[in-house]
Amino acid sequence: KELRKLDPYTASFILGWIRKNLQGCENPRRIGKGLVGNLSGSWRYRIGDYRLLAEITDCNVTILVLTIGHRSQVYR
């Protein structure tokens, strides 16, 4: 839903990054960074000036994308 708000080039860039780096990844935590505070338990992936916030489920390595947005607004 949030990808539709972005311009087509940026959305395509982010989807390509997800396919290249996260799809089929055995350990998605080695790429991302754990968050603290009120977002504790979530993980951040840096994609240029954009951030992807996600939760990771270990039982079958499922990544649930919580939000995607520009770094100046994504943590609000």
- Residue 49 included in any domain: yes
Q: Which domain holds residue 58?
A: 3-70
Identify the three-state secondary structure at position 52: strand
Phi, psi of 13 (to 5 degrees): -60, -45
d(CA 43, CA 4): 22
Model pTM score: 0.81
**75, 36, 20, 30: which is closest to 52 by C-alpha?**
75
CB 42 within 8 A of CB 48: no
Tell me: pLDDT of 17 over 90. yes
Structure token digits, residue 11: 């959305």
Tell me: pLDDT of 1 over 80. no
- Residue 27 included in any domain: yes
- Residue 21 included in any domain: yes
- Residue 31 included in any domain: yes
The tens digit of pLDDT for each residue in 21-63 reads 988 888 889 999 999 998 898 899 999 999 989 888 877 778 7
**73, 54, 76: which is closest to 6 by C-alpha?**
73
- Residue 25 included in any domain: yes
- Residue 75 included in any domain: no
**Total domains present in the chain:** 1
- Residue 76 included in any domain: no
